[in-house]
Amino acid sequence: LESLIRSIRDRDTRSSQDKISILESAKEIVRQLESPDERAMELLMSFSIVPALKIAMDMGVFKMLAIRSRVTASEIAHQAKAEEEFVVRIMRVLVSIGVLAILSVRTYGSTRLSDSFTVPANAAGVCVVNDQALRAVSRFSEYAAAHSYHNPTNTLTGPFQFALNTFESWFSWLSTRPHEDGWWRRARAPKGQTPTKLGTLDREFYTWVEVSYTYCLPLR
């Protein structure tokens, strides 16, 4: 396995035709090694990933690691005016999923994945999911039961509205909240371009995104 990993690391798999095959093989290896209980626990604990990413972003962890190759929990705590023990617990989550590398006791290093969260669109995506999507998903099971497990038929009475106690469409809700709207526009802006307000055609097209976003209907 170590030899295989080294050979893959030395190749540019981003443009390789067998990238999908390699990824599927890697996933199958993990599936064969993990017990059902281990996989179940991994799925159950996945709820903590996005909040941990958001907290790390707010504390400036990814920006610090983009400037220097290593950072300590003490340095993070000092910059963020946070409790060091709290920082360690957040870092533990991110190390466990490969976002950060642990170099020594309470000392962390960057990875290709952590570098990606310094990209504005990715950072904004974390904020959108944490501040908006998770709020809807947190009450999705309640919504489904209350609606007899039927697909919603419009975007004004979906899980998002149920969770936030509103009858506004998602875009109407965003239009009165510049902070949240800004994160959404940054998340969807093409790389290197300045985010802009959604135009009429965008709004018509993204109505379907809004529906899918709130787990209402599949994209068609």
Task: Determine the pLDDT at residue 82.
Answer: 98
The answer to whether residue 23 sits within a structural domain is no
> pTM for the whole thing?
0.79
Considering the domain architecture, whether residues 136 and 196 belong to the same structural domain is answered as yes
Rounded CA separation 168/217 (Å): 18
Domain boundary at 73, 95, 115, which?
A: 115
Task: Determine the pLDDT at residue 120.
Answer: 93
The answer to whether residue 35 sits within a structural domain is no
> pLDDT tens, 113-129?
999 999 999 999 999 99
Rounded CA separation 78/215 (Å): 40
The answer to whether residue 29 sits within a structural domain is no
The residue range of the domain holding 53 is 47-115
Domain at 79, CATH number: 1.10.10.10
Q: With beta carbons less than 8 A apart as the criterion, state whether 206 and 140 touch.
A: no
Residues in the chain: 220
Domain boundary at 88, 115, 142, which?
A: 115
Considering the domain architecture, whether residues 195 and 127 belong to the same structural domain is answered as yes
Half-sphere exposure of residue 66: CA atoms within 13 angstroms, side-chain side = 12
Q: What's the mean pLDDT in 37-44?
A: 89
Considering the domain architecture, whether residues 142 and 89 belong to the same structural domain is answered as no
The answer to whether residue 10 sits within a structural domain is no
Considering the domain architecture, whether residues 127 and 110 belong to the same structural domain is answered as no
pLDDT for 39 beyond 50: yes
Task: Determine the pLDDT at residue 16.
Answer: 66
Considering the domain architecture, whether residues 154 and 191 belong to the same structural domain is answered as yes
Considering the domain architecture, whether residues 124 and 186 belong to the same structural domain is answered as yes
Rounded CA separation 32/98 (Å): 20
Task: Determine the pLDDT at residue 153.
Answer: 79
Rounded CA separation 131/29 (Å): 35
The answer to whether residue 34 sits within a structural domain is no
pLDDT above 70 coverage of the chain, percent: 79
Question: Would you place residue 17 in the very low, low, confident or very high pLDDT band (cuts 50, 70, 90)?
Answer: low
Task: Determine the pLDDT at residue 14.
Answer: 59
Considering the domain architecture, whether residues 138 and 91 belong to the same structural domain is answered as no
Task: Determine the pLDDT at residue 27.
Answer: 84
Considering the domain architecture, whether residues 149 and 193 belong to the same structural domain is answered as yes
> pLDDT tens, 66-94?
999 899 999 999 999 999 999 999 999 99
Considering the domain architecture, whether residues 98 and 131 belong to the same structural domain is answered as no
Considering the domain architecture, whether residues 134 and 205 belong to the same structural domain is answered as yes
Higher pLDDT, 44 or 99: 99
Considering the domain architecture, whether residues 105 and 157 belong to the same structural domain is answered as no
Considering the domain architecture, whether residues 194 and 148 belong to the same structural domain is answered as yes
Task: Determine the pLDDT at residue 218.
Answer: 39
Structurally, the chain folds into a number of domains equal to 2
State the average pLDDT for the chain.
83
